[in-house]
Copies of this chain bind each other. A is one copy, B any other.
């Protein structure tokens, strides 16, 4: 998959990201800083040092707290300090090997360091490989707000290596599935069916099996994401984006939990709420809504959280309007695979309480059954 327009870049599925010819060619001509997350350092550190660590201090582990709480400007500064210590010049490159947080931090650091250097990404999580690692965006959390500061800075190269998912904890796989469900709901009913069919094996094998399906699901999800970004990589064409499905209520929900709720979990709750609102507004058939809730639930993802109050939902709507240039652009579902945007805050507002209650009841009955 080649991607982008201004700032074209390559996104490739590969068998061994640490020994990729295109990456080697990129690094061969430049000074490079390799940035890894603490988890990646622990699990893949020796392989990474073998592959890239020829120059002293070339591999930098971000030692700040991992996960969203570590996605701070101070971590960006750590990366920039590492780049200065390596005397990275303007033609230098920074490589992120890690999850969405690591990719986000490196993207912001690469955009600021000497007013912008190249960067490459090897996402090591499912979320990274089908969502967070693919676009032009980077961000840090600031003043308690998720992604309040950030940039558009397309990578030069993204390598997707499914074998890296083998060592992921199950909850990370689940979070990736939430984003795959989002993409499927937004644009691909067959992808949704494939996840329904193979969910158990995909989850248990961490996307190493079933052979054809695991590959197909990740590649199609990534391709759908890239198609959705295409032509609007810098969000300067439209703020009406199908990929915003699941991303209206989730940022506020994550922040309200102090980032105890993972991004994918918050997305799952957001998707569930939007499915129920879609049904209540007469957009989505009742059986389709039920399929959505069941798939999310079967993946071990939440459809509801006690933190999710009506007030929080309303704050989130206002924040989404601010973020989307003054209009709501709420992605709801007409059917599985087709988004419909709602602009009326009043219409949504009217359904929030009942929808939350419905989810709470569904949740309770699901817990009672299981």
Compute how far the CA of A79 lies from the CA of B80 in the bound complex, rounded to whole angstroms. 21
A140-182 interface bits toward B, Cβ cutoff 8 Å, 1 = contact, 0 = none:
0011010111111000000000000000000000000000000
Chain B residues contacting A87 (CB-CB under 8 Å) are 322
Total interface residues in chain A, CB < 8 Å: 35
Is A80 a contact partner of B142 (Cβ separation < 8 A)? yes
Interface of A is mostly: mixed
Is A89 a contact partner of B148 (Cβ separation < 8 A)? no
A81 within 8 A of B: yes
A63 within 8 A of B: no
Compute how far the CA of A148 lies from the CA of B235 in the bound complex, rounded to whole angstroms. 27
A112 within 8 A of B: yes
A256 within 8 A of B: no
- The one of B90, B115, B142, B321 that contacts A324, using a Cβ cutoff of 8 Å: B90
Is A149 a contact partner of B112 (Cβ separation < 8 A)? yes
Interface residues of A in 73-113 (CB under 8 A from B): 73, 77, 80-81, 84, 87-91, 111-113
Is A115 a contact partner of B89 (Cβ separation < 8 A)? no
Compute how far the CA of A324 lies from the CA of B114 in the bound complex, rounded to whole angstroms. 10
A310-349 interface bits toward B, Cβ cutoff 8 Å, 1 = contact, 0 = none:
0000000000011111100000000000000000000000
A355 within 8 A of B: no
A228-253 interface bits toward B, Cβ cutoff 8 Å, 1 = contact, 0 = none:
00000001000100000000000000
Chain B residues contacting A142 (CB-CB under 8 Å) are 77, 80, 84
* A57 to B: closest C-beta gap in Å: 15
Is A143 a contact partner of B80 (Cβ separation < 8 A)? yes
Is A239 a contact partner of B90 (Cβ separation < 8 A)? yes
A262 within 8 A of B: no
A137 within 8 A of B: yes
Is B77 a contact partner of A73 (Cβ separation < 8 A)? yes
**Given the contacts A142-B77, A145-B84, A326 and B91 also touching, CB distance less than 8 Å:** yes
Is A114 a contact partner of B148 (Cβ separation < 8 A)? yes
Chain B residues contacting A81 (CB-CB under 8 Å) are 143
Interface residues of A in 42-90 (CB under 8 A from B): 73, 77, 80-81, 84, 87-90
Is B84 a contact partner of A143 (Cβ separation < 8 A)? yes
Q: List 13 A-B contacts (CB under 8 A).
A: A73-B77, A80-B142, A80-B148, A80-B149, A81-B143, A84-B142, A84-B148, A89-B326, A91-B325, A115-B137, A115-B139, A115-B151, A116-B152
